Structure 1
Amino acid sequence: MPSFKSTARAALLALLLSGAAMPVLAQTPSPPPAILAAPEARDIHSYAQPLVARVTHIDLDLTADFAGQKMTGSAGLDIAAAPDATEVVLDSKGLVIHGVTDAKGAALPWTLGKVDPILGAPLTVQLNGARRIVVSYDSAPGGAALQWLTPAQTAGKQKPYLFSQGEAILNRTWIPTQDSPGIRQTWTARIVAPEGLKAVMSAEMLTPDGEPAPGGGRAYRFRMDKPVASYLIAIAVGDIAFTPLGGRTGVYTEPSVMKKTANELVDVEKMVEAAESLYGPYAWGRYDLLVLPPSFPFGGMENPRLTFATPTIIAGDRSLVSLVAHELAHSWSGNLVNNATWSDFWLNEGFTVYFENRIMEKLYGKPRADMLADLGWSDLQAAIKDAGGPTGADTRLHLDLTGRDPDDGMTDIAYEKGATFLRTIEKAVGRERWDAYLKGYFARHAFQSQTTAGFVADLRANLIKGDPKLEAAIGVDQWVYGLGLPANAVHIKSAAFPAVDALAAAYAKGGPAPAAKWKAWSTPERTRFVGSLPRQLSKERLAALDKAFGLSAQGNSEIRFAWLELAVANRYAPAVPSLEAFLTDQGRRKFVAPLFKDLMAQGDWGQPIAKRLYARTRPLYHAVTRQTVDGIVK
């Protein structure tokens, strides 16, 4: 990070501290200058120079052009800048820039720099004294953040649909701003949607029914008055209905699937209450969910006020609602306090996996929470193996992502090793003391970005407090900066799983399918059973298993996925139709990428299937999923 001792940067720090240059943010906490100035907070995935000029607020005025598959309009940006700053640098990737003006409409000079395949190009605007600029533009043709769906790709099959996915650095394909998680911004939006379609966003909805737009369609207005990372700005436009779930919770989705979706999510209000009882008040007003069409690439995305979720969580028996608990937990770990750079991604996900499990324990009991944690431990072992074993560089929590796409760091190391680290601290200090620390941590850093070094400093100042025995018992530096899994890692073991594992071993040796047990088991137990079976089973054993439990027609996505992994490993041809349907009907990267990887590993049997199938399904997937699978199916 360049030195910030120059007059300009010192002046900016004074402005940031006083809030004088940021009237919009004066009502809410601003990221402390210490975070922006810390060397480890330098964001290598952004062109922004926040110590010279920083975006503090965005006003979007955009029209969703379904025919042209683009967002078109303008973004007004408020800038906090040092008095002698001459320019502001924004992130962009493929944006079609029509012009830039100041607040009074006077043209400002601008240039687009050299294009980097990962980062896009810097958009540099000469300020000429301006502290507000307006960028007129179109979103990038084929921009990775936006997916435009045909009616056939929706549940209702009647109307088109648009949704965005901004994490990690994709929002720069439709919003010209400083696309860095450490540069939090407030924002508003006016979105014009075609008549008959509704727009929703990750913000307070000011016009639930829209208002007539001069050029046709309806305009929807939104406001986010709390500073958030830019990747959390999200939009969807489509045939979208709403059903309340509680006083401050509800669900949006297509009308044709609303009944079963709302029934699945009845416990959301209870989840919010459980989360608040653990770590303090929910800070965002409402907590709603948008259940999207099946091409959404993630299980869920924690966009403030409006979690985006995959329909693969709708199992019919509320067995997969831990995903909702996860996204809700992000309202504290990831939204209230978020990672300052993508090397600090574990601060979002490790905290959230830990918090999610505590919500599940509070609502559904320790046995269920223990099963989920134990499955997570297995995922962690697999992630360590995939990262090259215990000495693999990417087994660190704080990653080196130089020259890499930040998506490279979005593995179960961040999620499960991070959560295991927090469980290890809990064991060392006791749950009561640990909970008090976490509650204080979220309060101390509310609406701020955090670095790994910042968290470590806070942990030592407010929990360890110079106690050498506690420092040694936890081993903070080894956990955060070291390779592999430290010896003191806490493994939460489910009391139910040994019996499940024994039955899986018995079946592998020729025993009967445990039909009675299967009927009584929960989803985690069923998933464990299928996942514990050896990767070499006879076709007869696989056929008997499928017949006994209807695995190829399984509606629960987690169980279906476990079965298909087993089937592919055994080159079990009768499961291929189910595999093809599963990979065609949904685009969740968690399921899609491993299955294509498994197929490609099966050489002359699996590779032809993978290549034939991906040629057909690739256009159906979001860019996030395509980017990963493109590197697998070659």
Structure 2
Amino acid sequence: MRAFLPPVLSLFLVAAAPAPMVAPVLTAPDARDVHSYAAPLDLRVTHVSLALTADFAAKLLRGTATLDVQGQGGRLILDDNGLDITGVTDASGRALRYTVGTVADAAHGAPLTIDVGDARRVRIAYATRPGAKALQWLDPAQTAGKTQPYLFSQGEAILNRSWIPTQDSPGIRQTWDATITVPRPLTAVMSGLAVGERRCTATACTFAYRMDKPVAPYLIALAVGDLKFRSTGKRTGIWTEPAMLDKAAYEFGELEKFVAAAESLYGPYRWGRYDVLVLPPSFPFGGMENPTLTFATPTAIAGDRSLVSLIAHELAHSWSGNLVTNATWDDFWLNEGFTSYFENRIMEKLYGPRRAAMEADLAWTDMQAAVAAAGGPTSPDTKLHLDLPATRDPDDGMTQIAYDKGATFLRTIESVVGRARWDAYLRGYFDRHAFQPQTSAGFLKDLRANLLKPGEAEKIGVDTWVYQPGIPANAVHVRSDAFPAIDAAAKAYAAGGPVSAVPGDVTTQEYVRFITQLPRQLPEERLAALDRRFGWSQTGNAEIRFVWLSLTLANRYPPAAASAEQFLTAQGRRKFVAPLFEQLWGQGDWGRALATRIYTKARPGYHAVTATTVDRIMGWKGASGAL
């Protein structure tokens, strides 16, 4: 057990929002979350107040979490994954009895049970551990500036229980506030609105944040580093390290236009500010939709704003995912399918139907690949509503199926009812269920009650789409009018045509399409000719680099090994990292030797989300790297 060193708690006074009642949907059988130990129908956390100090030397957070709870029970059950708890009291300071149960597995942790009696406010003194899965502590050398350390959190799906003792279930929405003390000259930012100004001593500064709207607990997020801010509009801006600020502010400089476009489609933005934090390259996702402060990967910075659909996606989560949230991880598609559809509508509004169609067509290809990777169209993992057992990490359900099959389902509904009716319905849906959890059954009930006319549910096959595997035959495939020419060019080049005939000065989406349409086996000289013309082995456009490496590694193209090593050690985005290691691992002795060499070097810089996935692919046993 580590010594408890409480931060100063009197610097800021932040009032908790009124505690919401239990959402009716949580009483439904399909809203029971088997990935949380909580019993919210007995006692439910409604507000979390954090007072934490970041210790970069020890790589841990220390402090207290004060929980407001609601209900009739006398035992509060929380989720705990490796927290060092030093004491639990009620609001008056009276010690409360608590026990930490048996650890089920590395993903789920253990139940923290507190005998609260009649107390409805509980204070937990604790510290995290250096290996907390939600937290990544970066040395200065792992940052853009190379002079200051960095800390960031990633909570989805069930990682926040490794730094916050609460009921870590998406259906148990909670308001929160926090005071975070960090060493000077670092800055702390969070997924809530700032309260007052920072308060500093000679050695440390304390920052205060508040989220007065109930959110899923995985959306509580923290980052600490040498961070600077640049405004991009009256309610938008960019946070990142100084060395990245100019590039990031240009790439994502149209945030105000994105927010306005989203509002014109589906109603007002309800979170106050919309800022973007561009993180170091080890961030495991493209983006994370933390309210008020999207966390974004620098791999989206291509220099030409060609990858800004990522921002459209994370912004869209302010409606689908943050405003209306999946009650359990079985219905992850309610977050990502809706958001992927909404993202494409934002892109259409801002960049036109041609760009939106290219991105939708590429997503169709990704969906087919995801179905194949899941084991084919009969695999239960290709359903929208999943049946994840309690023993399975819910992260396993976070595949492209949820994103692309979900978006295709909504697009298919639109094709039957018409865009005007569909848009009116979707705007009303977000209003009716704002700040509430949702299930697949709840969505289908609402769809039938508020949109579909007699016979339309059967024409669409809504239950088949949600509860059956595979892609239904009536799926709407948006086809890009730009891709036939690109497909023809790929076919001509594969047949021996000159490299000069390959289109130049086209969009990122067209280059990605061209590369993916080439045969998986090409002679070295044909790959080299493309590389000489386009420089794809060294391109800074991560999407192009990824598909090029997928092709060239399959052919053991000589420059591919060095390119892969540079790419896989320079960033930790799981979308790129995991498929490339999986491909190498399946390529016999040559691929396994290369994968092992690269991963030995890269793994210490990966977040736990990425490392856990690649460990599983390669049979890697912990940090030692034993196979």
The bucket for the TM-score relative to the shorter chain is over 0.9
SS where residue 388 of structure 2 aligns? coil
8 Å contact kept, 1:515–1:549: no
Task: Count matched residues.
Answer: 603
Provide the rounded CA distance (Å) in 2 between the counterparts of 1:629 and 1:537: 28
Name which of 460, 465, 478 aligns with 2:464.
478
- Residue 124 of structure 1 aligns with an amino acid whose one-letter code is T
8 Å contact kept, 1:94–1:141: no
Name which of 598, 605, 622 aligns with 2:607.
622
Whether 1:431 and 2:431 are equivalent positions in the alignment is no
Alignment of 1:236-247 (within 5 A): 236-247=223-234
Q: Which residue of 2 aligns with 1:576?
A: 561
Q: Which residue of 2 aligns with 1:522?
A: 507
- CA-to-partner distance for each residue in 1:57-98, whole Å, 9 max, x for gaps? 00000000000100000000001021xx21100000000000
RMSD value, Cα: 1.2
Name which of 3, 6, 18 aligns with 1:26.
18
Offset of residue 32 of structure 1: 5.1
- CA-to-partner distance for each residue in 1:389-446, whole Å, 9 max, x for gaps? 1111101000011021011110010000000000000000000000000000000000
Whether 1:365 and 2:352 are equivalent positions in the alignment is yes
Whether 1:490 and 2:476 are equivalent positions in the alignment is yes
Alignment of 1:193-212 (within 5 A): 193-208=182-197, 210-212=198-200
Whether 1:46 and 2:36 are equivalent positions in the alignment is yes
8 Å contact kept, 2:489–2:502: no
Name which of 301, 306, 310 aligns with 1:319.
306
8 Å contact kept, 2:22–2:41: no
8 Å contact kept, 2:151–2:223: yes
8 Å contact kept, 2:23–2:437: no
Name which of 129, 139, 152 aligns with 2:128.
139
Name which of 588, 595, 616 aligns with 1:631.
616
Q: Which residue of 1 aligns with 2:139?
A: 150
Q: Which residue of 1 aligns with 2:284?
A: 297
Which ranges of structure 2 fall in alignment gaps of 5 or more residues? Answer: 1-14, 620-627
Alignment of 1:62-211 (within 5 A): 62-82=52-72, 85-117=73-105, 118-208=107-197, 210-211=198-199
8 Å contact kept, 1:31–1:447: no
- Residue 570 of structure 2 aligns with an amino acid whose one-letter code is D
Alignment of 1:312-351 (within 5 A): 312-351=299-338
8 Å contact kept, 1:95–1:137: yes
Whether 1:566 and 2:551 are equivalent positions in the alignment is yes
8 Å contact kept, 2:16–2:177: no
Q: Which residue of 1 aligns with 2:362?
A: 375
Offset of residue 169 of structure 1: 0.1
8 Å contact kept, 2:320–2:339: yes
Whether 1:611 and 2:596 are equivalent positions in the alignment is yes
Provide the rounded CA distance (Å) in 1 between the counterparts of 2:254 and 2:376: 39
- CA-to-partner distance for each residue in 1:31-80, whole Å, 9 max, x for gaps? 65321111100000000000000000000000000001000000000010
Q: Which residue of 1 aligns with 2:430?
A: 442
- CA-to-partner distance for each residue in 1:568-600, whole Å, 9 max, x for gaps? 111112221111000000000000000001101
SS where residue 537 of structure 2 aligns? helix
Q: Which residue of 1 aligns with 2:242?
A: 255
Greater displacement, 324-333 / 544-553: 544-553
Q: Which residue of 2 aligns with 1:234?
A: 221
- CA-to-partner distance for each residue in 1:190-237, whole Å, 9 max, x for gaps? 0001010000000001145x1025x94000000000000000000000
SS where residue 189 of structure 2 aligns? strand
Whether 1:392 and 2:392 are equivalent positions in the alignment is no
Provide the rounded CA distance (Å) in 2 between the counterparts of 1:269 and 1:190: 29
8 Å contact kept, 2:59–2:129: no
- Residue 344 of structure 1 aligns with an amino acid whose one-letter code is D
8 Å contact kept, 2:489–2:503: no
Whether 1:224 and 2:211 are equivalent positions in the alignment is yes
8 Å contact kept, 1:46–1:119: yes
Whether 1:499 and 2:477 are equivalent positions in the alignment is no
Greater displacement, 291-300 / 31-40: 31-40
| Percent identical | 64
8 Å contact kept, 2:323–2:435: yes
- CA-to-partner distance for each residue in 1:529-575, whole Å, 9 max, x for gaps? 01111110001111111111100111110000010000111111222
Which ranges of structure 1 fall in alignment gaps of 5 or more residues? Answer: 1-22
- Residue 344 of structure 2 aligns with an amino acid whose one-letter code is N
Offset of residue 464 of structure 1: 1.3
Provide the rounded CA distance (Å) in 1 between the counterparts of 2:23 and 2:581: 45
Provide the rounded CA distance (Å) in 2 between the counterparts of 1:398 and 1:612: 39
Name which of 47, 68, 72 aligns with 1:57.
47
Tell me the TM-score normalized by structure 2: 0.95
- Residue 490 of structure 2 aligns with an amino acid whose one-letter code is A
Tell me the TM-score normalized by structure 1: 0.94
Provide the rounded CA distance (Å) in 1 between the counterparts of 2:177 and 2:501: 55
- Residue 282 of structure 1 aligns with an amino acid whose one-letter code is Y
Provide the rounded CA distance (Å) in 1 between the counterparts of 2:18 and 2:121: 16
Name which of 380, 395, 402 aligns with 1:407.
395
- Residue 45 of structure 2 aligns with an amino acid whose one-letter code is V
- CA-to-partner distance for each residue in 1:482-511, whole Å, 9 max, x for gaps? 110101000000001011011001111111
Name which of 505, 519, 539 aligns with 2:524.
539
Offset of residue 514 of structure 1: 4.5
Offset of residue 163 of structure 1: 0.2
Offset of residue 155 of structure 1: 0.3
